[in-house]
Chains A and B, each alone.
Chain A
Amino acid sequence: MQIKPILAALRRHKAGTVLIALQIALTLAIVCNALFIIQQRLAHMSEPTGIDEANLLVISNQWAGHRSPQEVDAQIQADLAALRQLPSVRDASPSDGYPLTGGGWDNYVMLTPEQIEKTTDASVYMGDEHMLDTLGVKLIAGRNFNASEVMQMTSRQVVIPPVVIVTKALADHLFPDGSALGKPIYSMSSTPSTIIGIIERLQRQDVKTWSKPYAYESLLWPMREDTDGLYYIVRAKPGQLAAAMRAVPQALYAQNRMRIIDPKDGGNYAQIRERIYDSDRGMAILMGIISAVLLAITAAGIVGLTSFWVGQRRKQIGVRRALGARRGDILNYFLTENFLISVGGVMVGTVLAVGINLWMMARFEMARLSLAYVIDGVIILLLLGQLATLAPALRASRVSPVEATRST
């Protein structure tokens, strides 16, 4: 295949050539970044929580009216006893939050009592001795809390427990040499808390950008929080989540009606995930739609312009055919022409794609575009160009040599 005559012909169609190349370049730039955004969001959404999501149910319980802390604590204990007796329930625990709450309590953690600047930031889960079994997290070192260690925290009173359980991520951050068990830590207090257990994994209550450096750094306090409200985390027996979701609110209202169960908070983990990741999912969907439509429009544009060129050059094609060019030669001519334009386009597009990504990194805390996306994008667009050219090129190859003798 001779490239020189193609280039010579392209020089006579500068505008069309530039337009197709430009369109390919811009499409590549946008599609690469869109695919990358989709991948980032999907990766964020698939981060594991480390808990038995399939069987868990979270109830957001707010107390109505006015009660003393003693009354609240007695009610919490009665509620928990009732929940644990339900046939569909395996275990239940009080808590101040749950993985993927979206916000919640986090504390700075220090290694010495005098330290002013934090060593790290940990999501704080308060629960009783049933918390580990309820969440279904795996204890990999040390022991669980026992019932006598569980304390009460009333409103605006910070109680620092003498014992804590931490996640492996937090243990490794605080004590990189792996010696966390038995060590004291300080959570914004001069009172030490000794690490008595390490759990494999427990995601934070928030999954926001600011907490990324502290991902999976959570700690558990043996505590019941007797304030305006709390969460009940309930683990259903396998396959009985639906039954538990019906039975749990009933059991709680049967205990005491003066409470508010917030339907927009908690729920099962399908609901919780849907709520917390709605903007990520939306972003992935939007980028998916835009990429698909964009590729379709670019392909259609190439078909349109190439068809026009074929129409314009019927006579020349006829002459070439009359002079002995075979159909394959004509087909090849148009495919090669498109390939040359596309290569020009993707070269410019690669620069644009990286440029857009760099700008978004500076502006929106985006990660660096991996080269794989650019390569994928280049392959997609080169193939798209060839496919879009195929139909007009086939039509060109069917131009009869007789066309050479016609006047138009």
Chain B
Amino acid sequence: MFAYYFELGLRSLRRNPALTALMVMAIGFGVAASMITYSVFRAVSGNPIPEKSAQLFTPQIDSWGPQQNLKGEPADALNYIDAMALMRAHRARRQTLLYGVGMSVLPSGNDSLPVAANGYAVYGDFFPMFEVPFLYGGGWNMADDDRRAAVVVLSEEFNQKLFDGANSVGREITLDGHDYRIAGVTRHWDPQPRFFSLFNTSGFKDATDFYLPFTRALDVQANPGSNSCRGHMDFSGWDGWLRSSCVWATPWVELDSAVEVARYGKFLEDYATDQQRAGRFAWAPNVRLRNVMQWLDYQHVVPPESRISLLVSLGFFAICLVNTIGLLLAKFLRRAGEIGIRRALGASRREIYTQYLIEAATVGLAGGVLGLLLTTVGISGVGLLFQPQIARLAHLDFSLVALTLAVAILATVVAAFYPAWRAARVQPAWQLKSN
């Protein structure tokens, strides 16, 4: 029966090509606009580390006080004193501090020009905590952190650029005039958004080239890309800056159970209380402990443009569906005579209803195919609409193709409920009489 109704549907679609084309276009454009903007939204709002997002937390401590903090919220990073205190206390199973650094590298060859490299200063725990995959070698351990070792981990892409992808573990590279021994090379790893480094940046950035020990980075006085300060900035020199109010280090801790989370939260409170008692903070403890998804939400990582465009596109799709309801109504009721004859010959209302829903589904399918074409075109042109770092994340995969077709068909069938119901209610006697 299904096949027969499907064929009837196709035949009926051919009968009024203009009306059919209109419906297919409405569905196609509506679903394409929604899917293009959804592909971007999906990319920017996804969970960058689904297996562990509930175990990774970033502690915040208010070292600025109610008059200078961020409308009651603590700063988005820690100053050196608080950051070091957290590391020394070591109350989490794994813990790291990190900050972004930019350095120069001179590729081999006499006439080569230096190139810029972006990296992070991290602790050895960074790699197991964030499940960084390795191609060659590995990260470094706590002992390396403590002895401020001159080691470095390169990204697969950077290793490709410098060593043509060869196993470079054990070799030396020079970053900003200092030598480092290569401990490992990661596999391609670029969680989007880059949840662990959101301080004063957007979360969508160029690829990382290297990771070096935080302690070593301090020794070579590698400047953080960004810092925020309060009060008087009357320091002069590196050590003075470290002791200043400037925040720049992002801490992360791994806490595996609710008990550990509660215990760590208590530890932060106690730490802030101690600081208050010692006279360093002139305010009550104001600390936060957010996990990955809470942190992404708090930092407004999803650009408003992405949300607005998705919402407007969904509104657009809704209008296309209202349009389709009207057109289907016109199309079905135009065939009232035909329905009357079929009813008189014994077709039940249910059969009419099913037939027209299947006809609508064929419209939906055609709309879905058009929508898919438009989505493909749209995603390739999405660079016109969004920032390049965000646009390149949008892509067409199997799930999006399936979703496009499913949404198109389902939405059209839902839109056909009312018109098909009207068609099924056609009175055979009345139709036959008037003919």
Cα–Cα distance between A297 and B26 once the two chains are bound (Å) = 6
Q: How far is the CB of A396 from chain B (nearest CB, A)?
A: 15
- Chain A, 213-231, contact with B by CB distance < 8 Å: what is the 0/1 string? 0000000000000011000
Of chain A, the residue at the smallest CB distance from B32 is A293
- Specify which chain A residues have a CB less than 8 angstroms from the CB of B67 in the assembled complex: 116-117
Contact check: which of B178, B238, B323 meets A301 at CB < 8 Å?
B323
Tell me the chain A residues, 1-55 only, with Cβ under 8 Å from chain B: 15-16, 19-20, 22-23, 26-27, 29-30, 33-34, 37
Cα–Cα distance between A305 and B241 once the two chains are bound (Å) = 72
- Specify which chain A residues have a CB less than 8 angstroms from the CB of B200 in the assembled complex: 103
Chain B, interface size: which category? Answer: 35 or more
Contact call B176/A308, Cβ cutoff below 8 A = no
Q: Does B410 sit at the interface, judged by CB under 8 A? A: no
Tell me the chain A residues, 41-79 only, with Cβ under 8 Å from chain B: 62-66
Cα–Cα distance between A300 and B318 once the two chains are bound (Å) = 16
Summarize B's interface: helix, strand, loop or mixed.
helix
Tell me the chain B residues, 309-330 only, with Cβ under 8 Å from chain A: 309, 312-313, 315-316, 318-320, 322-323, 325-327, 329-330
Contact call B326/A294, Cβ cutoff below 8 A = no
Count contacts between A and B, CB distance < 8 Å.
174
Of chain A, the residue at the smallest CB distance from B434 is A408
- Given the interface pairs A155-B223, A360-B308, the reply to whether A23 lies near B322 with Cβ below 8 Å is yes
Tell me the chain A residues, 74-108 only, with Cβ under 8 Å from chain B: 103, 108
The stretch that binds A, out of B127-135, B358-366, B385-393, is B385-393
Q: How far is the CB of A259 from chain B (nearest CB, A)?
A: 7
Q: Does A262 sit at the interface, judged by CB under 8 A? A: yes
Of chain B, the residue at the smallest CB distance from A293 is B29
- Given the interface pairs A15-B329, A188-B231, A188-B232, the reply to whether A283 lies near B308 with Cβ below 8 Å is yes
- Specify which chain A residues have a CB less than 8 angstroms from the CB of B37 in the assembled complex: 286
Cα–Cα distance between A189 and B233 once the two chains are bound (Å) = 6
Tell me the chain B residues, 326-350 only, with Cβ under 8 Å from chain A: 326-327, 329-331, 333-334
Q: How far is the CB of B318 from chain A (nearest CB, A)?
A: 7
Contact call A30/B315, Cβ cutoff below 8 A = yes
Contact call B385/A298, Cβ cutoff below 8 A = no
Q: How far is the CB of A257 from chain B (nearest CB, A)?
A: 6
Contact check: which of A15, A258, A282, A293 meets B386 at CB < 8 Å?
A282
Tell me the chain B residues, 372-410 only, with Cβ under 8 Å from chain A: 384-388
Q: Does A285 sit at the interface, judged by CB under 8 A? A: yes
Summarize A's interface: helix, strand, loop or mixed.
helix
Contact check: which of B26, B238, B307, B308 meets A155 at CB < 8 Å?
B238
Contact call A23/B303, Cβ cutoff below 8 A = no
Q: How far is the CB of B184 from chain A (nearest CB, A)?
A: 25
Contact call B223/A228, Cβ cutoff below 8 A = yes
- Specify which chain A residues have a CB less than 8 angstroms from the CB of B229 in the assembled complex: 188
Tell me the chain B residues, 254-305 only, with Cβ under 8 Å from chain A: 303-305
Of chain A, the residue at the smallest CB distance from B236 is A157
Q: How far is the CB of A126 from chain B (nearest CB, A)?
A: 14
- Specify which chain B residues have a CB less than 8 angstroms from the CB of A307 in the assembled complex: 330
Contact call B234/A279, Cβ cutoff below 8 A = no
Contact check: which of A116, A290, A300 meets B316 at CB < 8 Å?
A290
Of chain A, the residue at the smallest CB distance from B21 is A300
Which of B177, B233, B319, B329 gathers the greatest number of chain A CB atoms within 10 Å? Answer: B319
Q: How far is the CB of B57 from chain A (nearest CB, A)?
A: 26
Tell me the chain B residues, 16-50 only, with Cβ under 8 Å from chain A: 19, 22, 25-26, 29, 33, 37
- Given the interface pairs A278-B387, A285-B385, the reply to whether A65 lies near B319 with Cβ below 8 Å is no
Q: How far is the CB of A35 from chain B (nearest CB, A)?
A: 12
Cα–Cα distance between A225 and B313 once the two chains are bound (Å) = 47
Q: Does A156 sit at the interface, judged by CB under 8 A? A: yes
Contact call B319/A294, Cβ cutoff below 8 A = yes
Q: How far is the CB of A52 from chain B (nearest CB, A)?
A: 27
Contact check: which of B116, B176, B236, B319 meets A66 at CB < 8 Å?
B176
Q: Does B417 sit at the interface, judged by CB under 8 A? A: no
Q: How far is the CB of B317 from chain A (nearest CB, A)?
A: 10
- Specify which chain B residues have a CB less than 8 angstroms from the CB of A285 in the assembled complex: 384-385
Q: Does B418 sit at the interface, judged by CB under 8 A? A: yes
Contact call A298/B319, Cβ cutoff below 8 A = yes
Contact check: which of A27, A228, A408 meets B319 at CB < 8 Å?
A27
Q: Does A371 sit at the interface, judged by CB under 8 A? A: no
- Chain B, 236-254, contact with A by CB distance < 8 Å: what is the 0/1 string? 1110110000000000000
Contact call A16/B330, Cβ cutoff below 8 A = yes
Contact check: which of B19, B316, B384, B418 meets A294 at CB < 8 Å?
B316
- Given the interface pairs A117-B67, A285-B385, the reply to whether A190 lies near B223 with Cβ below 8 Å is no
- Chain A, 108-144, contact with B by CB distance < 8 Å: what is the 0/1 string? 1000000011000000000000000000000000000
Tell me the chain A residues, 192-240 only, with Cβ under 8 Å from chain B: 227-228
Contact call A297/B25, Cβ cutoff below 8 A = yes
Q: How far is the CB of A204 from chain B (nearest CB, A)?
A: 16
Contact call A297/B29, Cβ cutoff below 8 A = yes
- Specify which chain B residues have a CB less than 8 angstroms from the CB of A290 in the assembled complex: 33, 312-313, 316
Cα–Cα distance between A356 and B319 once the two chains are bound (Å) = 15
- Specify which chain B residues have a CB less than 8 angstroms from the CB of A189 in the assembled complex: 232-234
Contact check: which of A63, A227, A279, A287 meets B303 at CB < 8 Å?
A279
Contact call A23/B326, Cβ cutoff below 8 A = yes
- Given the interface pairs A26-B315, A290-B316, the reply to whether A62 lies near B116 with Cβ below 8 Å is yes
Q: Does A158 sit at the interface, judged by CB under 8 A? A: yes
- Specify which chain B residues have a CB less than 8 angstroms from the CB of A103 in the assembled complex: 200, 226
- Specify which chain A residues have a CB less than 8 angstroms from the CB of B313 in the assembled complex: 290
Cα–Cα distance between A407 and B432 once the two chains are bound (Å) = 12
Q: Does A355 sit at the interface, judged by CB under 8 A? A: no
B residues sitting closer than 8 Å to A (CB atoms) are 19, 22, 25-26, 29, 33, 37, 67-68, 102, 104, 106, 113-116, 176-178, 200, 206, 221, 223, 226, 229-238, 240-241, 303-305, 307-309, 312-313, 315-316, 318-320, 322-323, 325-327, 329-331, 333-334, 384-388, 418, 422, 434-435
Q: Pick the 6 closest A-B CB pairs, nearest first.
A: A66-B177, A64-B114, A308-B330, A64-B104, A282-B385, A301-B323
A residues sitting closer than 8 Å to B (CB atoms) are 15-16, 19-20, 22-23, 26-27, 29-30, 33-34, 37, 62-66, 103, 108, 116-117, 155-158, 188-191, 227-228, 253, 257-260, 262, 264, 278-279, 282-283, 285-287, 290, 293-294, 297-298, 300-301, 304-305, 307-308, 311-312, 360, 364-365, 407-408
Q: List 16 A-B contacts (CB under 8 A).
A: A19-B326, A23-B322, A30-B319, A62-B102, A62-B116, A65-B106, A65-B114, A156-B237, A157-B235, A158-B236, A188-B229, A260-B116, A279-B387, A297-B26, A297-B323, A407-B435
